[in-house]
Amino acid sequence: METPTINDLSICIATENGSGSASANNILFKAIFKMGIPCSSKNMFPSNIQGLPTWYQIRASAEGYLGRKDVIDVMVMFNDVTAAKDIHRVRDGGIILYDDSTPLPPHLKREGVQYLGVPADKIVQKILPTSPLRGKQKNMLYVGALAYLFGIDMETIKAVLEDTFGKKPAVIESNLVCIDAGYRHMQENGLNQDIARFQAIPNGNKGKIITEGNTACALGTIYGGVSFVAWYPITPSSSLAEALEHYIPRLRKGNGKPTYAIIQAEDEIAAAGMVIGAGWAGTRSMTCTSGPGLSLMNESVGLAYFTEIPSVFLIVQRGGPSTGLPTRTQQADLQLMYCCSHGDTRHIILIPHDMKSCFDFARRSFDLAERFQTPVFVATDLDLGMNFWSSEPFQLEKGPFDRGKVLTAEQIEQWEKQGKKFRRYFDADGDGIPYRTIPGNRHPHASYFTRGSGHDADARYSEDEKDYKETLDRLRRKFETARKYVPKPIVEMNEGVKTGIICFGSSYEATREARNRLRAEGLKTNHLLLRALPLSEEVKKFLEAHEVVYLVEQNRDAQMAAIIKEDWPELGAKIVSVLIYDGLPVTAGEIVRQIFNGAQATPREVLKQVQVKG
């Protein structure tokens, strides 16, 4: 017998996609949230519309951890196709909830777990004999069964249904009938368990919001004053553009007519080109895409870098290379972003790690793009972008937009009175950032010729070696200036601790949890959350202050480690990479495991081993 844990449980729900389970899962998750229990959900879905296996993992965590849990306490086995594997994913002592309308075949039986049945098929046939939605409603049965087993009261579920389907009483009713049937089946048949209970925490989630990173980023761009968007549909970034389209008419009423243009382009090349054209002409413009789209945008990003045009690229990373795993998460496009385009380039990247920073960084990206007259990336991933996260509410930091060094006709006039001349690519302030004018400026000396080919400080065509080198050097100076402007890392230092952990983006939650588990095992760590590239001095100091620094990243080739080593090669030896790249959201368990195993070999070490053996 186990002592039931309170509010600490992971439930994995295995279904077929397109079967209506998304709706059932959503209701279950929101009901737990409404009880005030800290919780998170991860949707591990296929690149498909109907009929392929999909898993939804809900985690309730009394301690407030939002990362994925690698131990599954309850498996809702509602997909015959994956059942044989699913039964082995649940922990010893865990529970398998299944549809026992027909007897369980012997190969799906396993020792050491508790099987609980709910005859979902039979029940829906009985209570909804004529409904065409019967197949979909069947999923509501497990919601009811779980509600009874773990203690979610029907009033809470009713409230969630009303929040979700407010204006459709018939839908609320038909869902409720099914959930209630599932609940009563368990109750009337005395089916129960003793591994965990949910217990409402009054006001536990009061003031917290639930949202996805793509929505948070979309809202951020709207509050950042975006007025031009060009995009091409691609998972997992489409829902970002769609959220923008959804919210912007309501938020930016203007004088009745749209104060923005959102264009679904013919491909990502066109999307990038349009964004650059619009940025050149003076709007705050952006695109959003994922790895394959960014691959296509490379040439245009180089153009914007070399011609110095403000533009924002929101990249929601997925598994690559090639088509890779379109519906799984990765941080493997870091170097693609950092060095996007042929030739020498380095780009500013903002890396949010939660919903608030998705909102804030998306908003701020336009300030940075206009300040530095360059493409700015906002790098998220599928885990942040498409999963529900609970968060403190968004807050608008008030203050004027930074439109950067833009000269109006009047300012040029004044400059000329002071004997100064507008020169488009001249480093007047020594920070590498030149002044620009915007087409439509009516001063006779305002116009210039923008070109992706070699140019001098006055924007004239030039193949002169000195001009070329000067331009490249100034662009590098500009990048160095950016080090002081981008969001600084968040550092947690404790006296006498010799081990550091660096992480960034969606690894944050799991890393936070891993550090607590490491401490419980006797390994104290300091922490640095990286939030932007170029790297700032704090990263260097952090490396210097520790004997060993674990760097958690979600890619095979230790891409962030390579970027750090490029800046401070002498400190590179301190970095031990924790590399997680199976496409699933990171778990604290995996981070802990790798650290205690002396951390995974970096590719270079792998290579050494191969050579030694040979």
Partner 1 sequence: MAEKKLNRINLSEKDYEGAASTMCRGCGHDAITASIIRAFFQSGVDPRKVVKLSGIGCSSKTPAYFLSQAFGFNGVHGRMSALATGANLANRNLIPIGVSGDGDTAAIGLGNFCHMMRRNVNITYIVENNGVYGLTKGQFSATADKGSRMKAGKINDMPAIDVAELAITFGATYVARSFSGDRKQLAPLIQGALAHKGSAILDVLSPCVTFNNHEGSTKSLKYIRENLDPIHDVDFIPQYENIEVDYKEGTDHAVTLHEGSRIVLHKLNSDYDPTNKTQALTAIHAAVAEGKFLTGLIYYDPNRLEFAEELNLCETPLAELGQDLLQPPAELLDEINAEFMK
Measured from the CB atom, the residue of 58 and 560 that comes closer to partner 1 is 58
**Closest separation between CB of residue 440 and partner 1, Å?**
6
Q: How many CB atoms lie within 10 A of CB 452?
A: 13
Assigned token pair, 602? 């970096």
Which of 54, 374 has the CB closer to partner 1? Answer: 374
3 state SS of 490: strand
Of 45 and 280, nearer to partner 1 (C-beta) is 280
What's the closest the beta carbon of residue 388 comes to partner 1, in angstroms? 10
Residue 358 backbone class (left: φ over 0; alpha: ψ -120 to 50; beta: rest): alpha
Q: Which residues pair with 12 in a beta bridge?
A: 57, 75
Q: Cα dist. 581→290, 324, 514, 558 in Å? A: 17, 12, 17, 10
Among residues 216 and 595, whose Cβ is nearest to partner 1? 216
Determine how many CB atoms are found less than 10 A away from the CB of residue 201.
15
Altogether, the residues listed in the chain come to a count of: 614
Residue 265 vs 562, nearer CB to partner 1: 265
Residue 75 CB contacts under 8 Å (≥ 6 apart), including other chains: 11, 12, 14, 86, 87, 89, 90, 94, 95, 96, 97
CA 40 – CA 383 distance, rounded (Å): 11
Report in angstroms how near the CB of residue 255 gets to partner 1 at its nearest. 6
For residues 270 and 523, which CB has a smaller minimum distance to partner 1 in the complex?
Answer: 270
Bridge partners, 577 (sequence order): 551
Could you say which DSSP state residue 68 is in? B
User: Closest distance between partner 1 and the C-beta of residue 382, in Å?
Assistant: 20
**Listed residue (170, 189, 57) closest to 123, CA to CA:** 189
Residue 474 CB-density burial (10 A; 0-12 exposed, 13-18 middle, 19+ buried):
buried
Judged by beta carbon, residue 87 or residue 226, the one nearer partner 1 is 226
Contact between 141 and 127 (Cβ < 8 Å):
no
Name the minimum Å distance from CB 450 to partner 1. 4
**Phi, psi dihedrals of residue 322, rounded to the nearest 5°:** 55, -145
SS (H, E, C) 3-46: CCEECCEEEEEEEECCCCHHHHHHHHHHHHHHCCCCEEEEEECC
- In whole angstroms, the minimum distance from the beta carbon of 224 to partner 1 comes to 8
Q: Which two tokens stand for residue 160?
A: 């969630």
How far from 279 is each of 248, 272, 438, 449, 474, CA to CA, in Å? 19, 10, 9, 15, 21
Q: How far is the CB of 328 from partner 1 (least distance, A)?
A: 25
C-beta closer to partner 1: residue 81 or 261: 261
Q: Compare residues 282 and 326 and give the one whose CB is closer to partner 1.
A: 282
Question: Quick one: 21 or 298, whose CB is closer to partner 1?
Answer: 298
Spell 328-338 as b/e; 16+ CB within 10 A means b: bbbbbbbebbb
Helix/strand/coil (H/E/C) assignment for every residue in 116-130: EECCHHHHHHHHCCC
Q: Which is nearer to partner 1, 348 or 446 (CB)?
A: 446
The nearer residue to partner 1, 148 or 394, going by C-beta atoms, is 394
What lies within 8 Å, CB to CB, of 166 at 6+ separation is: none
**Could you tell me which residues come within 8 angstroms of residue 85 by beta carbon, excluding any fewer than 6 positions away?**
none
Cβ 41 to partner 1 shortest distance, Å: 15
Residues with Cβ within 8 Å of 43's Cβ and at least 6 positions away in sequence, in order, are 22, 25, 54, 55, 56, 386, 387
Burial of residue 148 (CB within 10 Å: 0-12, 13-18, 19+) is: buried
Tokens of 52: 């392929």
Provide, rounded to whole angstroms, the least separation between the CB of residue 155 and partner 1: 15
- Decide whether 126 or 246 has the Cβ nearer to partner 1: 246
Q: How far is the CB of 260 from partner 1 (least distance, A)?
A: 7
The least CB distance from residue 25 to partner 1, in Å, is: 17
In the complex, least distance from residue 393 CB atom to partner 1, rounded to whole angstroms? 4
Structure tokens at 246: 């959804």
Least Cβ distance, residue 396 to partner 1 (angstroms)? 4
State the minimum distance, in angstroms, from the CB of residue 186 to partner 1.
27
DSSP state of 541: H
User: What type of residue is 174?
Assistant: S
Closest CB to partner 1 among residues 125, 447: 447
Nearer to partner 1, 18 or 225 (CB): 225
CB of 362 to partner 1, least distance (A): 13
Beta bridge partners of 96: 75, 115
